[in-house]
Amino acid sequence: DQQVKQNSPSLSVQEGRISILNCDYTNSMFDYFLWYKKYPAEGPTFLISISSIKDKNEDGRFTVFLNKSAKHLSLHIVPSQPGDSAVYFCAASGGRAARQLTFGSGTQLTVLP
Amino acid sequence: EAQVTQNPRYLITVTGKKLTVTCSQNMNHEYMSWYRQDPGLGLRQIYYSMNVEVTDKGDVPEGYKVSRKEKRNFPLILESPSPNQTSLYFCASQDSEGDEQYFGPGTRLTVT
């Protein structure tokens, strides 16, 4: 049973609009969450993270929201750009110092010009 | 340039023929890990290493071996590959203070 779920395999958004990628988790022991971005033929690269003591973390155009009671997090990209087109993976761990990550299945974001 | 390198990038082999995928990082990171990526399943951890001579199983270790004799290298060994090990493999490293894992470019393995 997948402990981290990304239920939307794909998402298309118009350039300049907001992209919202969602992620749900089931394990209550997870308390640190990360988003990775992956382009074809490359390894994933770290995008943004959030600790469970926060409900929001912002870095430029990227904001991650965490709703602990719902075991749900989301990544907002505003404004979306064609270069944001990639697969986005949500990941969770049992703390910032923990190294074992559990990944979701990924969402392919396509930003249309 | 700080990086994680993997070799080979592409490999086609036959069932039962032992192979090794190498992984090396130049960032002096203590932690290293191997993942496999399969459609609809995301990345699943195979093995990880907290430091030299310290390795442990991840979520899908069956059919794989690893070793960590030096800090920079973490090879993945398939003693007797089978078709269900056809996958895209990623090596990653992380230091003790950082948030992020740095991933290699991936190795696409096909076992026929």
Q: Any CB–CB contact under 8 A between A4 and chain B?
A: yes
Q: Any CB–CB contact under 8 A between A41 and chain B?
A: yes
Cβ A100–B106 below 8 Å, yes or no?
Answer: no
Q: Is the pLDDT of residue B96 over 90?
A: no
Q: Tell me whether strands A107-112 and B4-7 are parallel, antiparallel or unpaired.
A: unpaired
Cross-strand partners of B32: B49, B93
Cβ A43–B105 below 8 Å, yes or no?
Answer: yes
A49, A96, A106 member nearest B42 (Cβ): A106
Q: Any CB–CB contact under 8 A between A21 and chain B?
A: no
What pLDDT, in 10s, does the model give residues A81-113?
A: 999 999 999 999 886 556 788 999 999 999 999
Give the pLDDT confidence score for residue B46 in this predicted structure. Answer: 96
Q: Which residues of A touch B27 (CB under 8 A)?
A: none
Please give the share of chain B, as a percent, with pLDDT higher than 90.
87
A34, A43, A96 member nearest B106 (Cβ): A43
What pLDDT, in 10s, does the model give residues B9-63?
A: 999 999 999 999 999 999 999 999 999 999 889 999 999 999 999 999 998 999 9
Tell me which residue of B8, B60, B12 sits closest to B33, measured CA to CA. Answer: B60
CB B10 within 8 A of CB B19: no
Specify the DSSP element, H or E, that contains B33.
strand B31-38
Give the pLDDT confidence score for residue A96 in this predicted structure. Answer: 55
Burial class (CB in 10 A: 0-12, 13-18, 19+), B109: buried
In 3-state terms, what secondary structure has residue B85? helix
Positions in chain A short of pLDDT 50? none
Q: Is the pLDDT of residue B75 over 60?
A: yes
Chain B nearest-CA residue for A96: B99
Question: Number of residue pairs across A and B with CB atoms under 8 Å?
Answer: 59
Cβ B42–A89 below 8 Å, yes or no?
Answer: yes
